[in-house]
């Protein structure tokens, strides 16, 4: 697979991983619904900043380790594939089920939004994703422009999704429409993630 193919696959996996329900989504949506659109967008930007931080940690150390150990590369690919299959299967199985939304109790929207970075950094999904799936999808000996493109792609996807979520869910009508479409969306996304996990198992 060439560099452009790796970046395209990375973009697809990151998009599906980003839009899957989890602590980041719940925090941003809760902030937007309970505080304000402005606070929700700020939270979305901070979640994207957390994603960039995880990416920087991955590129600075884990990629070098993987490049020097084919065994670690194979192990991480296996872990990443299993994680995607588990995440997708769980999402498809529980599509439309109740999700626990974290309460936003502070009166300062920007203060709540700044907590989004900490939510991202302490999210176990982030560790599993960047530590295995993301590290394996990026070529270990790629030129600098590939890593720069990966940073740009993932940052753009995260910003568009989380800020879009905050913008939409701060309004009553879009929120009702989202909740209505959520079960079908989660089933489709879950099946895609399972397929990507199976695809990773066959990657060489």
- Of the chain, the percentage scoring pLDDT greater than 90 comes to 4
**How many helices (DSSP H) and strands (DSSP E) are in the chain?**
10, 0
Q: Which range has the worst mean pLDDT, 6-10, 16-20, 129-133, 189-193?
A: 129-133
pLDDT in tens, 78-120: 776 787 788 778 777 877 666 555 444 444 556 766 677 777 7
Q: In the predicted model, is pLDDT for residue 64 greater than 90?
A: no
Q: For 143-173, what is each residue's pLDDT tens digit?
A: 888 888 988 998 899 999 999 988 888 777 7
Q: How many CB atoms lie within 10 A of CB 24?
A: 27
Q: How many CB atoms lie within 10 A of CB 183?
A: 13
DSSP one-letter code for 97: -
What is the pLDDT, as a whole number, of residue 18?
85
Is residue 142 helix, strand or coil? coil
pTM: 0.66
Quote the pLDDT of residue 104: 47
Rounded CA gap, 159 and 153, in Å?
Answer: 10
Mean pLDDT, the chain, rounded, equals 75
CA distance 179 to 100: 14
Is residue 30 classed as helix, strand or coil in its secondary structure? helix
Q: Greater confidence, 67 or 194?
A: 194
Number of domains in the chain: 1
Tell which wins on pLDDT, 38 or 103: 38
Residues recorded for the chain: 204
| Four-CA torsion 8, 14, 20, 23, nearest 10 degrees | -170
pLDDT for the residue numbered 90: 79
In this prediction, residue 69 has a pLDDT band, given cuts at 50, 70 and 90, of low
State which residues form the domain around 67: 3-201
pLDDT of residue 202: 75
Does residue 58 register a pLDDT over 80?
no
Distance CA 177, CA 182 (A): 8
Residue 22 is given by DSSP the state: S
Q: Which residues contact 36 (CB under 8 A, 6 or more apart)?
A: 109, 170
Predicted pLDDT of residue 107: 45
């Amino acid at each position: 697979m060439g560099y452009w193919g790796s970046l395209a696959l990375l973009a697809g996996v990151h998009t599906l991983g980003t839009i899957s329900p989890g602590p980041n989504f719940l925090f941003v949506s809760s902030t937007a619904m309970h505080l304000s659109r402005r606070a929700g967008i700020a939270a979305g930007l901070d979640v994207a900043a957390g994603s960039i931080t995880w990416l920087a940690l991955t590129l600075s150390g884990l990629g070098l380790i993987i490049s020097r150990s084919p065994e670690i590369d194979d192990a991480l690919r296996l872990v990443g594939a299993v994680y995607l299959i588990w995440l997708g299967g769980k999402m498809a199985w529980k599509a439309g089920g109740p999700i626990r939304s974290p309460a936003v109790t502070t009166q300062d929207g920007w203060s709540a939004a700044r907590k989004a970075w900490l939510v991202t950094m302490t999210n176990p999904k982030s560790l599993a994703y960047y530590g295995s799936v993301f590290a394996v999808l990026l070529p270990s000996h790629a030129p600098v422009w590939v890593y720069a493109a990966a940073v740009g792609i993932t940052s753009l996807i995260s910003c568009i999704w989380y800020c879009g979520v905050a913008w939409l869910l701060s309004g009553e009508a879009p929120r009702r429409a989202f909740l209505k479409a959520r079960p079908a969306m989660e089933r489709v996304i879950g099946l895609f993630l399972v397929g990507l996990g199976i695809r990773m198992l066959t990657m060489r």
